[in-house]
Amino acid sequence: MAYDFTLILIGFVALIGGAELCVRGASQIATRLGVSKVLIGLTVVAFGTSLPEMVVSFIASIHGEPSIAVGNVIGSNIANITLILGCAALLSPLMTDRGILRKEIPLMILSAIIIFLFSLSGRISRLEGGLLLMMFVGFLVISLGRYKQEASQAASEGLPERSCFLSLMITVGGFAILVLGGHWVVEGGKAVARGFGVSEWLIGLTIVALGTSLPELATSMVAAYKGEMDISVGNVIGSNLFNSFCVLGGAAVISPPIVNQLELSRDILLMVLVSAIIYPIARSKMQISRLEGLGLFVFYISFIISLIIAPEWRIF
């Protein structure tokens, strides 16, 4: 057990270091190429920090444990919106990009509703998984086309001293460290959780979901601290879209997961709720304030406590 806790601690250190490199490299690439930092946050950073979710979910599906895969996605999406945006907003109020408010946040809400509808049959089929993957491709193509047409204001601030290639290597190195740190945290967390004898769904919803969301948490908080609000918010929204469409879709294609009615009514509906509630919060004064961040953080802590105290009849 001591080894598992040590592995988790080392993973935390790796996640923080990887996040620092990831944000620094991605910001420099955006400035040099004249690319919108919103796009960088929605795609490059978001997909990179979601690699742990993808790896864990795909491996779980291959090994015949699709409950971990689905619980991982649902739990990660809930953690991204409540815990990560909450902590980042507590560090520094997050300004909301109008493009994200009009397009990506409604799409995130729609993706949560689609997962809920697909789950009503008690199973997410391979066909439904394929449809989720197609939606992901459509989102990526449309986003690239839309943000490519936007003029970058960052270019007027001057080019970074490092070459674009070196910035890319820094970003890739940061991603690699993030993935490795996330792997260590998840493996250690799974061992600790199984030592206490909890279900696979609960492991996926809590330990695995929180562990694989740590790259997003570290990256968004570092970005918020550095004043890179577009990367911080875009990372969370893009990560949720990646999880819903690509990670869950791919896992369903590999091994269609069964979702029982209790899990459906509690956890998937909660994901829909927190996805929907972030819209009015972000729209208010076009920012997520510290007070609103505190509310999101308290909501997540309440959710976790309810899982531990009363998993069969919890309110959250």
What average pLDDT does the chain have?
80
The percentage of residues in the chain with a pLDDT greater than 70, rounded to a whole number, is 85
Number of H helices, E strands in the chain: 17, 2
What domains lie within the chain, and their CATH numbers? Answer: 2-149+162-309 (1.20.1420.30)
pTM score, whole prediction:
0.79
Least confident range of 4-8, 99-103, 156-160, 227-231: 156-160
Identify the pLDDT of residue 315: 42
More confident residue, 246 or 210: 246
Per DSSP, 88 falls in state H
Q: Find tokens 């819903």 and name the residue.
A: 244
As a whole number, mean pLDDT of residues 10-31 equals 77
Residue-level pLDDT at 60: 76
Determine the Cα–Cα distance for residues 271 and 266; give it in Å rounded to an integer: 9
Q: Give per-residue burial for 233-272: e unless 16+ CB within 10 Å, then b.
A: bbbbbbbbbbbbbbbbbbbbbbbbbebeeebbebbbebbb
Distance CA 218, CA 88 (A): 9
61-98: per-residue pLDDT in tens?
887 777 777 888 898 999 999 999 999 999 888 887 77
| 66-80, 116-130, 136-150: least confident range | 136-150
Specify the pLDDT at position 152.
45
